[in-house]
């Protein structure tokens, strides 16, 4: 789960990670009020969406008068902001963050994430602030300094020194940097964060460090104990069909092909997409129905898959283990009674009681259900059906 | 022969009396696994499925001589259960539970390593040595005895692969579901040498997926140390970047962790990489014919 920049900064403030002052606004008038409250003579109007690259997309702009704050807020609010992370359709901007201007002397990058190979968090810093860190890693990897932090000992001053000296900071600024980095590590650990990215981290004219931007993502498995983070969830930033699927214990991700897939298990679900691709088709979605594959979840799965008008055929691929195939077969038949399935459904059931399951499907006499014998056969039949063959 | 577990393995179940723990413990016993007891704090002294229940893992180990624990406790209690097992001298913990927080596993894994306890999972189907011992939730009947070792991040793809191997007339020595979380216990790199050393294992099937770089590490290891043929499939060739594909760890970050880079690394290491998971069985038949 991700949160907005202004929400991440709220968490930062609680841990004394310095950020510029700012207020959230939902209308141009609120934006002006926010600017007046902040005072000063220069403000930044920042679109709040869950995607990076907002500045390049025209979602972050500088204002030198409250009138300009008003005009920019009006321009940005309601726009479909397109960045390299949103896809070509962009994302609707529903709120803007009005922030005081900062006296920027130098920009850096600072990030924290889990290093899966080391099995501990790593903090990364770079002098190439404001650039996409993936590009820096690709073009000039020597400009990224990394420290791994053993969770059993936590963040130590030496971690901070290694980063600070690596960035070439003068000795008198190192103390402030260590304090900043140490507080950030605490934000990360205390909230079960998956990643924090500050790009840019800026040094101001008076030698202070400020998080000018803030991006945070969280471990979904830990949300049950992160009430504050949960309250920050913005459902309007997420795919509506994915949220609905989640309610029924289904894991769904929309793709751009025309062969719908319903599979038990995440690995087999990906493998099924790959098989469809291998057989010359394009998968319309990832869908893991989980362990039970009951009539109700299968029916819900059909509903969700068929919300996508591109879907021309559905491949149901269930490997029955603990869940018996005959029960799944009955579930599929029930599901076609609960919901209207108007495309060919190719069903491959293998594993426990697969033979009984095939009989049940054949005897049901449902015209648009086509039985398949194995994974390749099912994928081939589904691809052919989607092509109208 | 086999790896890690066999018919002599004495197994306890943490979360023994819960719904999932009970159901699967019973299935494991029916398969032939020596389930010698279980742990449910507060229910010590009771008898469940004909076996003693203990309040602590230490008591269970002392009374039964168990060396393996199968963990079914709810996600919030997984790290506690793993650390308790490690503290009690268990040598292998098989963690079935799905949904444990990553931070918890980071601490639990570090502690297990410190206590020399091996772990499998979390979020995995477990481990099975065909016809001897099943510690997990997989349907046992698919795993006919044979000479193929199997390592997989995914549960149902493990079943799919084993099924294909059996349909081609071969069978399984041991199959290990290592789990698809960002932090897991035993990985390819630790399991490959065990299969290499096992005389009954003649070839290895390795199922990976997008996210992380365990498969890349495995490729480097295979190139240097593995002489037995390896057949691999990487799930998620058609997965979009930045989206979590069901498993917590199955995510392409930026341009890292793609199926393509993993397939290339494995191919360069001499592994037979199949593009379609429907071809795993056929690929095994092909490599076995050359032995």
Number of H helices and E strands in chain B, helices first, is 9, 14
Task: Write down the pLDDT at residue A132.
Answer: 79
Residues of B recognised as catalytic: 247
Query: How close is the nearest chain B Cα to the Cα of A383, in Å?
Result: 14
Query: In Å, how far is A312's CA from the nearest CA of chain B?
Result: 18
Write the CB contacts of A231 (distance below 8 Å, at least 6 apart in sequence).
none
| Of residues A284, A130, A291, A154, the one with CA closest to residue A213 | A130
Per-residue exposure over B78-96, b if at least 16 CB sit within 10 Å of its own CB, e if not: bbebbbbbbebebbbbbbb
In this prediction, the residues of chain A whose per-residue pLDDT falls under 50 are none
Domain shared by A248 and A316, yes or no: yes
Q: Are residues A226 and A245 in the same domain?
A: no
Residues 163-222, chain A: which have Cβ within 8 Å of B? Answer: 189, 192, 194, 219-222
Tell me, yes or no, whether A230 and A282 share the same domain. Answer: no
Q: Nearest CA to CA, how far is A158 from chain B (Å)?
A: 21
Q: Are residues A275 and A312 in the same domain?
A: yes
Where among A178, A212, A238 does a domain terminate?
A: A238
Q: Which domain holds residue B206?
A: 138-289
Both B106 and B144 in a single domain? no
Chain B CB contacts of A114 under 8 Å are 102, 106, 182-183
- The shortest CB-CB distance from A266 to any of B75, B237, B250 is to B250
**Cα gap A174→B18, rounded to integer Å:** 53
Residues A226 and A110 occupy one common structural domain: yes
**Structural domain count, chain A:** 3
A197 tagged catalytic: yes
Q: Are residues A354 and A261 in the same domain?
A: yes
**Structural domain range at position A324:** 240-386
The CA distance from A27 to the nearest CA of chain B, in Å, is: 31
Mark which of A202, A220, A238 sits at the end of a domain.
A238
Interface touch A267/B209, C-beta < 8 Å = yes
A257 and A192 assigned to the same domain: no
Q: Is B100 in the same domain as B203?
A: no
**Paired tokens of A29:** 């008038």
pLDDT at A292: 66
d(CA A311, CA A308): 6
Looking at the structure, tell me whether residues A194 and A225 fall in a common domain: yes
Same domain, B98 and B146: no
Tell me if A117 and B213 make a contact (CB, 8 A cut-off): yes
CATH number of the domain enclosing B271: 3.40.50.261
Angstrom distances, CA of residue A344 to CA of A128, A214, A348, A367: 53, 47, 13, 8
CB contact residues (below 8 A), chain A span 141-160, against chain B = 150-152
pTM of the model: 0.93
Q: Could you tell me if A15 lies within 8 Å of chain B, comparing CB atoms?
A: no
Among candidates B137, B154, B243 on the partner chain, residue whose Cβ is nearest the Cβ of A268: B154
Does any CB of chain B come closer than 8 Å to the CB of residue A273? yes
Name the domain boundary from B86, B120, B154: B120
What stretches in chain B show pLDDT beneath 70? 1, 254-255
Can you tell me the distance from the alpha carbon of A106 to that of A151, in angstroms, rounded to the nearest whole number? 31
My answer on whether B223 and B272 are in the same domain is yes
CATH of the domain at A316: 3.40.50.261
**CATH number for the domain harbouring residue B61:** 3.40.50.720
Q: Are residues B24 and B82 in the same domain?
A: yes
**Closest of B70, B64, B66, B62 to residue B128, by C-alpha:** B70
Closest CA to A383 of A312, A306, A303: A312
* Structure confidence at residue B1 (pLDDT): 64
Q: Which DSSP symbol is given to B28?
A: H
Pair A109, A89 in one domain: no
* Same domain flag for B166 and B225: yes
In the listed set A84, A101, A118, which residue is the last one of a domain according to the structure? A101
pLDDT on residue A338: 85
**Is A230 in the same domain as A297?**
no
Q: Are residues A82 and A115 in the same domain?
A: no
User: Which of B217, B246, B253, B255 to mutate: most A Cβ within 10 Å?
Assistant: B246
Task: Check residue A134 and give its pLDDT.
Answer: 79
Domain count, chain B: 2
Q: Are residues A198 and A130 in the same domain?
A: yes
């Amino acid at each position: 789960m991700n949160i907005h920049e202004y929400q991440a900064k709220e968490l930062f403030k609680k841990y004394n990670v310095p950020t510029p002052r700012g207020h959230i606004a939902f209308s141009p008038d609120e934006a002006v009020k926010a600017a007046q409250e902040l005072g000063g003579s220069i403000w930044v109007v920042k679109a709040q969406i869950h995607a990076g690259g907002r500045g390049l997309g025209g979602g972050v702009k500088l204002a030198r008068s409250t009138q300009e704050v008003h005009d920019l807020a009006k321009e940005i609010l309601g726009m479909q902001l397109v960045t390299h992370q949103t896809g070509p359709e962009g994302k609707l901007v529903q709120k803007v963050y009005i922030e005081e201007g900062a006296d920027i002397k130098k920009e850096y990058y600072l990030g924290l994430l889990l290093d899966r190979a080391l099995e501990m968090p790593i903090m990364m810093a770079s002098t190439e602030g404001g650039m996409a860190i993936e590009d820096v890693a690709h073009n000039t990897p020597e400009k990224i300094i990394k420290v791994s932090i053993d969770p059993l000992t936590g963040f130590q001053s030496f971690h901070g020194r290694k980063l600070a000296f690596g960035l070439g900071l003068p000795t008198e600024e190192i103390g402030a940097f260590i304090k900043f980095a140490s507080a950030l590590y605490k934000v990360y650990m205390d909230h079960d964060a998956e990643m924090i990215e500050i790009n840019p981290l800026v040094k101001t004219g008076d030698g202070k460090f400020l998080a000018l931007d803030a991006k945070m993502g969280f471990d979904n498995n830990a949300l049950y104990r992160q009430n504050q983070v949960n309250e920050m969830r913005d459902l309007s930033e997420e795919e509506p069909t994915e949220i609905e699927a989640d309610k029924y214990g289904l894991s769904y991700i929309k793709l751009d092909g025309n062969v719908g897939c319903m599979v038990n298990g995440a690995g087999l679900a990906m493998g099924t997409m790959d098989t469809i691709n291998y057989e010359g088709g394009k998968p319309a979605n990832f869908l893991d129905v989980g362990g039970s594959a009951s009539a109700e979840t299968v029916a819900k799965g059909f509903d969700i898959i068929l919300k996508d008008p591109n879907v021309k055929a559905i491949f149901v691929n269930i490997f029955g283990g603990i869940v018996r195939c005959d029960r799944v077969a009955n579930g599929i038949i029930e599901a076609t009674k609960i919901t209207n399935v108007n495309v060919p459904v190719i069903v491959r059931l293998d594993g426990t009681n697969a033979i009984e399951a095939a009989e049940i499907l054949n005897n049901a006499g449902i015209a648009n259900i086509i039985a398949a014998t194995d994974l390749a056969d099912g994928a081939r039949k589904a691809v052919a059906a989607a092509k109208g063959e | 022969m086999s790896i890690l577990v066999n018919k002599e393995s004495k197994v306890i179940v943490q979360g023994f009396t819960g719904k999932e723990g009970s159901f699967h413990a019973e299935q494991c016993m029916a398969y032939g696994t020596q389930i010698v007891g279980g742990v449910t704090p507060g229910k010590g002294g009771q008898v469940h499925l004909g076996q003693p229940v203990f309040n602590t893992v230490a008591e269970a180990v002392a009374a039964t001589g168990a060396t393996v624990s199968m963990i079914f406790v709810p996600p919030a209690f997984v790290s506690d259960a793993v650390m308790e097992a490690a503290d009690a001298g268990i040598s292998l913990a098989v963690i079935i539970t799905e949904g444990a927080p990553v931070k918890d596993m980071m601490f639990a894994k570090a502690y297990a390593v410190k206590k020399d306890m091996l772990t499998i999972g979390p979020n995995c189907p477990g481990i099975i040595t065909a016809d001897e011992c099943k510690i997990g939730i997989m349907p046992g009947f698919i795993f006919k005895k044979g000479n193929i070792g199997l390592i997989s991040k995914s549960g149902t793809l493990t079943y799919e692969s084993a099924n294909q191997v059996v349909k081609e007339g071969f069978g399984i020595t041991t199959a290990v579901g290592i789990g698809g979380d960002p932090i897991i216990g035993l990985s390819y790199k630790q399991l490959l040498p065990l299969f290499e050393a096992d005389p009954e294992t003649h070839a290895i099937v390795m199922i990976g997926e997008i996210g992380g770089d365990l498969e890349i590490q495995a490729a480097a290891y295979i190139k240097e140390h593995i002489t037995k043929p390896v057949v691999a499939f990487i799930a998620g060739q058609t997965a979009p970047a930045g989206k979590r594909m069901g498993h917590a760890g199955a995510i392409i970050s930026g341009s890292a962790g793609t199926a393509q880079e993993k397939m290339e690394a494995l191919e360069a290491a001499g592994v037979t990489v199949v593009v379609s998971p429907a071809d795993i069985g056929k690929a095994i038949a092909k490599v076995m014919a050359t032995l």
